[in-house]
């Protein structure tokens, strides 16, 4: 989704803004722009549709726009098509105010009508231009930039992270937030704003996350933060410990491939600190055994791949804890009048920690009295901040739109949590507890082994990339694995793909299986292997071209029926999807590569979905 960067300091602003925006490119965008305030108090704006490079070329890499204060934006079109005019920053009619905005101003039509009646001429179709024009209107009325911002914020409704500059104040950026991510970066003689810490990695690690209703005034020397009542407040600073290199490709052709390869290391970081002397230790969970016993209902709430992690979690947590677990898509949860009260635990899963639907579900759950525990990758993100307990996944920045290492670390942490809770409840035997812990210890190395044997996957991808429809089938945990395999494939290769619980085939889907249909049959769940095999025979006898995935111990059996077989090491059944997902990620990657797709930035998709 849209990205925001702002800089005020002693260096030329434009190259810093372009660099910051380039670090946000992964979020997805369709146009980009910057506004720089010249020393003479003149707002110079450059913007263009398409890739950031187009904008950069237009302004000589930033050299042609001179000034040491500026704001920059990558736009993901919501109101008005992607074109030069609709891209941000937007200027007021008198060219005194420049605004960048993430989010949606819901009452923009009414304000636009009001301003048109006042003689204001609009040039774009966006909701954001309304903010720039309204700000200029109030500024002309009161002559005070900060006061005018306050008036605007009281008038607009909706979601926003705003960066605002005024030509009369070439030494100040004002920023404000409501329901859209925004952070402040503290530098030496320079200060920053950004929608995402990744943008600031080379410049500062010292940040403050803004909360809803807060406003900040940035000068070169200081940042003053105000609450919604416009009282000055002090906020805790956070330190970003991500390496700059973690957000760069480092010789890999694609971030997605790099991140797939980073999984062993990411898993080590997620698992090792929480395993001590053969026991799972969650210093970061404050929920006590007494409180847990009091919990009558558990929901797991998330979107997309994070939801698929939740699907695996449902099977595993129920198995280990012997408590019923509901998995809900965040976008459905909040409109479904969920059965949530103070005896409910809601586990929220999100890589970005900013997904709007998930955030809204969290708030709904909290307002109904639930306790919220979140599993989040981005430290200090909104979901993390609003949860009662947070378990970070420590996967480092994930840049490719299609998640891989975040999925894997979320899954490891959720499985660990299930086992930890099961131990608290006394619902897991000592033997099983120890077997899963052993499996967790071995997991990063087993993922490494799986990654090292990827030649077969390349070969299969080369022979299957021309299919236009694929079915993933599996039972129990293999079904949940299929959901993720199918999403990975469709989102980056644009091949139509569906995941089915094998037992459902004969209730409808099997009518779609004909000569040559590609079926990816998942047979890694040992307990139901024989049943999975009958489904393989079923689709084969209708002409399906089957690619199977199974474990070492079932390889020979699978090869009796299927020629093309991918194999992963054996582990404890609850951890098997953590290995099974790796070949499916690679398969999707290589298929997309053969099809010439834009792997890191698939069409129509954004990394962090901050609109409903
Ligand atoms: C798919 C993918 C998305 C995200 C979903 C939730 O590869 O990345 O489906 O999983 O948008 O995002 P987070 O986890 O940031 O809430």
Residues 260-301 have pLDDT tens digits of 999 999 999 999 999 999 999 999 899 999 999 999 999 999
> Which distant-in-sequence residues (6+ apart) come within 8 Å of 44 by Cβ?
35, 36, 37, 38, 65, 66, 67
Report the domain count for the chain. Answer: 3
Q: How far is the CA of 446 from the centre of ligand 1 (A)?
A: 25
Which mutation among 27, 198, 306, 592 tests ligand 1's pocket best, with the greatest number of atoms within 8 A of CB? 306
Query: pLDDT grade, residue 30 (50/70/90)?
Result: confident
* For residue 29, pLDDT beyond 90: no
End-to-end CA distance of the chain: 12
Q: How far is the CA of 305 from the centre of ligand 1 (A)?
A: 5
Q: How far is the CA of 353 from the centre of ligand 1 (A)?
A: 10
What single-letter DSSP state applies at residue 154?
A: H
Q: How far is the CA of 304 from the centre of ligand 1 (A)?
A: 5
Which mutation among 351, 356, 393 tests ligand 1's pocket best, with the greatest number of atoms within 8 A of CB? 351
Catalytic residue among 2, 328, 454, 597: 2
* For residue 595, pLDDT beyond 80: yes
Residues 405, 520, single domain; the answer is no
Residue 187, beta-bridge partner list: none
Contact (CB, 8 A) for 223 and 217:
yes
**Residue 346 in domain:** yes
**Closest ligand 1 atom, residue 488 Cα:** 7
Which mutation among 303, 404, 606 tests ligand 1's pocket best, with the greatest number of atoms within 8 A of CB? 303
**Closest ligand 1 atom, residue 308 Cα:** 10
Can you tell me the mean pLDDT for 393-411? 96
From the number of C-beta atoms within 10 Å of its C-beta (0-12, 13-18, 19+), residue 603 rates as: exposed
Contact (CB, 8 A) for 443 and 275:
no
Instruction: Look at ligand 1, atom 5, and give the residue with the nearest C-alpha.
Output: 304
Comparing C-alpha atoms, which of 361, 315, 317, 309 is closest to residue 340?
A: 361
Q: How far is the CA of 134 from the centre of ligand 1 (A)?
A: 35
Q: Which domain holds residue 193?
A: 3-242
Distances in Å between the Cα of 579 and the Cα atoms of 85, 307, 392, 431, 530 are 48, 18, 21, 22, 20
What's the rounded Cα separation, in Å, for the pair 349 and 410? 7
Contact (CB, 8 A) for 456 and 450:
no
Query: pLDDT grade, residue 83 (50/70/90)?
Result: confident
What's the rounded Cα separation, in Å, for the pair 230 and 250? 44
What's the rounded Cα separation, in Å, for the pair 458 and 451? 12
Residues 169, 83, single domain; the answer is yes
CATH number, residue 414: 3.40.50.10490
Q: How far is the CA of 196 from the centre of ligand 1 (A)?
A: 16
Three-state secondary structure along 127-147? CHHHHHHHHHHHHHHHCCHHH
Lowest mean pLDDT among 194-198, 324-328, 402-406: 194-198
* For residue 27, pLDDT beyond 90: no
Q: Is 303 a catalytic residue?
A: no
Encode pLDDT of 403-457 as tens digits.
999 999 999 999 999 999 999 999 999 999 999 999 999 999 999 999 998 788 9
Average pLDDT taken over every residue of the chain? 95
* For residue 607, pLDDT beyond 80: no
- In the numeric block, which tokens belong to residue 593? 């590569």
Q: How far is the CA of 80 from the centre of ligand 1 (A)?
A: 25
Which mutation among 26, 181, 305, 312 tests ligand 1's pocket best, with the greatest number of atoms within 8 A of CB? 305
Neighbouring CB atoms inside 10 A of 14's CB total: 28
Q: What integer pLDDT is reported at residue 301 of this predicted model? A: 98
Q: What integer pLDDT is reported at residue 143 of this predicted model? A: 96
Residues 443, 472, single domain; the answer is no
**Closest ligand 1 atom, residue 401 Cα:** 8
**Closest ligand 1 atom, residue 355 Cα:** 16
Residue with tokens 């399906």: 544
Catalytic residue among 47, 258, 314, 607: 607
CATH number, residue 180: 3.60.20.10
Residues 72, 34, single domain; the answer is yes
Residues 362, 426, single domain; the answer is yes
Task: Label residues 540-556 b or e (16+ Cβ within 10 Å = b).
Answer: beeebbbbbbbbeebbe
Ordered strands of the 469-474 beta sheet: 496-501, 469-474, 518-523, 545-551, 564-568
> What's the farthest any 2 CA atoms get from each other in the chain?
81
Instruction: Look at ligand 1, atom 7, and give the residue with the nearest C-alpha.
Output: 402
**Residue 600 in domain:** no
Comparing C-alpha atoms, which of 512, 515, 535 is closest to residue 523?
A: 535
What's the rounded Cα separation, in Å, for the pair 17 and 40? 20
* For residue 529, pLDDT beyond 80: yes
Q: What integer pLDDT is reported at residue 12 of this predicted model? A: 97
Residues 147, 277, single domain; the answer is no
Question: Which percentage of the chain shows pLDDT scores above 70?
Answer: 100
**Residue 607 in domain:** no
**Residue 296 in domain:** yes
Residues 200, 56, single domain; the answer is yes
**Closest ligand 1 atom, residue 410 Cα:** 14
Query: pLDDT grade, residue 608 (50/70/90)?
Result: confident
Three-state secondary structure along 533-566? HHHHHHHHCCCCEEEEEEEHHHHHHHHCCCCEEE
Q: How far is the CA of 311 from the centre of ligand 1 (A)?
A: 14
Neighbouring CB atoms inside 10 A of 534's CB total: 11
Q: Is 607 a catalytic residue?
A: yes
**Residue 161 in domain:** yes
Residues 220, 309, single domain; the answer is no
Instruction: Look at ligand 1, atom 16, and give the residue with the nearest C-alpha.
Output: 350
* For residue 57, pLDDT beyond 90: yes
Instruction: Look at ligand 1, atom 11, and give the residue with the nearest C-alpha.
Output: 304
**Which is more confident, 251 or 330?**
330
**Residue 188 in domain:** yes
Contact (CB, 8 A) for 592 and 493:
yes
Query: pLDDT grade, residue 25 (50/70/90)?
Result: confident
Domain stop point among 242, 268, 288: 242
**Closest ligand 1 atom, residue 305 Cα:** 10
Encode pLDDT of 368-381 as tens digits.
999 999 999 998 88
Residues 446, 460, single domain; the answer is no
**Closest ligand 1 atom, residue 406 Cα:** 14
**Closest ligand 1 atom, residue 307 Cα:** 10
Encode pLDDT of 510-526 as tens digits.
899 999 999 999 999 99
- Secondary structure class of 501 (helix, strand, coil): strand
Distances in Å between the Cα of 387 and the Cα atoms of 101, 356, 390 are 26, 15, 6
Which mutation among 259, 355, 386 tests ligand 1's pocket best, with the greatest number of atoms within 8 A of CB? 355
Instruction: Look at ligand 1, atom 4, and give the residue with the nearest C-alpha.
Output: 304
Query: pLDDT grade, residue 248 (50/70/90)?
Result: confident
Domain stop point among 242, 266, 298: 242
- Looking at 322-400, list the stretches that DSSP marks H as alpha helix, in order from N- to C-terminal side: 330-333, 356-367, 382-386
Q: How far is the CA of 608 from the centre of ligand 1 (A)?
A: 7
* For residue 231, pLDDT beyond 80: yes
Residues 268, 237, single domain; the answer is no
**Residue 290 in domain:** yes
- In the numeric block, which tokens belong to residue 348? 């929220």
**Residue 603 in domain:** no
Residues 437, 537, single domain; the answer is no
Neighbouring CB atoms inside 10 A of 155's CB total: 17
> Between the CA atoms of 465, 471, 473 and 479, what dihedral angle is there, to the nearest 10 degrees?
90
Residues 363, 471, single domain; the answer is no
What's the rounded Cα separation, in Å, for the pair 263 and 568? 15
Domain stop point among 417, 451, 485: 451
Q: How far is the CA of 434 from the centre of ligand 1 (A)?
A: 32
Instruction: Look at ligand 1, atom 10, and give the residue with the nearest C-alpha.
Output: 305
Lowest mean pLDDT among 36-45, 172-181, 549-558, 600-609: 600-609
Ligand 1 binding pocket, CB closer than 6 Å: 303-306, 350-352, 355, 358, 402-403, 487, 491, 608-609
């Amino acid at each position: 989704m849209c990205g925001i960067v702002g800089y005020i300091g002693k260096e030329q602003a434009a190259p810093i803004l372009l660099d910051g925006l380039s670090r946000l490119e992964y979020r997805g965008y369709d146009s980009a722009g910057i506004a720089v305030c010249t020393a003479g108090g003149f707002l110079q704006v450059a913007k263009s549709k398409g890739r950031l490079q187009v904008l950069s070329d237009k302004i000589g890499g930033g050299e042609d726009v001179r000034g040491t204060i500026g704001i920059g934006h990558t736009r993901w079109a919501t109101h008005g098509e992607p074109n030069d005019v609709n891209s941000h920053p937007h200027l007021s009619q008198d060219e005194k105010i420049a605004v960048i905005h993430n989010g949606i101003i819901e009452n923009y039509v009414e304000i636009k009508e009001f301003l048109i009646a006042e003689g204001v001429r609009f040039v774009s179709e966006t909701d954001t231009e309304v903010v720039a024009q309204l700000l200029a209107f109030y500024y002309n009325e009161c002559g005070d930039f900060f006061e005018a911002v306050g008036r605007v914020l009281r008038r607009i409704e909706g979601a926003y992270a705003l960066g605002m500059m005024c030509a009369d104040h070439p030494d100040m950026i004002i920023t404000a937030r409501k329901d859209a991510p925004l952070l402040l970066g503290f530098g030496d003689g320079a200060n920053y704003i950004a929608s995402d810490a990744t943008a600031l990695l080379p410049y500062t690690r010292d940040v403050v996350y803004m909360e809803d209703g807060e406003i900040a005034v940035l000068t070169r020397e200081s940042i003053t933060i105000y609450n919604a009542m416009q009282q000055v407040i002090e906020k805790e600073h956070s330190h970003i410990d991500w390496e700059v290199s973690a957000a760069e490709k480092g010789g890999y052709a694609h971030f997605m491939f790099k991140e797939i390869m980073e999984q062993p290391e990411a898993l080590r970081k997620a698992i090792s600190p929480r395993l001590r002397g053969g026991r799972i230790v969650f210093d970061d969970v404050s929920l006590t055994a007494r409180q847990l016993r009091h919990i009558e209902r558990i929901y797991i709430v998330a979107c997309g791949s994070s939801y698929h992690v939740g699907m695996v979690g449902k099977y595993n947590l129920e198995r280990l804890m012997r408590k019923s677990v509901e998995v809900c898509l965040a976008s459905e949860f909040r409109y479904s009048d969920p059965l949530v009260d103070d005896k409910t635990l809601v586990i929220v899963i999100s890589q970005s920690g900013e997904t709007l639907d998930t955030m809204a579900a969290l708030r709904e759950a909290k307002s109904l009295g639930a306790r919220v525990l979140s599993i989040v990758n981005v430290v200090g993100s909104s979901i993390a901040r609003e949860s009662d307990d947070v378990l970070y996944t420590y996967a480092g920045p994930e840049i490719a739109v299609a998640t891989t290492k975040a999925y894997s670390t979320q899954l490891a942490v959720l499985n660990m949590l299930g086992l930890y809770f099961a131990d608290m409840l006394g619902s897991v035997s000592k033997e099983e507890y120890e077997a899963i812990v052993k499996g967790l210890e071995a997991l990063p190395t087993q993922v490494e082994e799986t990654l090292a044997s990827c030649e077969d996957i390349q070969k299969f991808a080369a022979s299957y990339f021309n299919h236009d429809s694929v079915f993933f089938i599996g039972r129990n945990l293999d079904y949940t694995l299929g959901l993720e395999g199918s999403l990975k494939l469709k989102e980056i290769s644009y091949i139509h793909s569906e995941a089915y619980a094998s037992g459902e085939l004969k209730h409808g889907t099997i009518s779609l299986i004909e000569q040559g249909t590609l079926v990816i049959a998942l047979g890694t769940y040992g307990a139901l292997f024989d049943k999975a095999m009958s489904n393989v025979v079923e689709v084969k006898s209708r002409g399906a071209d089957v690619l199977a995935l199974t474990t070492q111990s079932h390889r020979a059996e699978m090869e009796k029926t299927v020629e093309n077989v991918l194999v992963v090491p054996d582990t404890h059944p609850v951890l098997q999807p953590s290995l099974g997902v790796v070949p499916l990620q690679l398969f999707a990657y290589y298929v997309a590569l053969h099809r010439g797709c834009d792997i890191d930035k698939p069409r129509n998709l954004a990394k962090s979905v901050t609109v409903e």
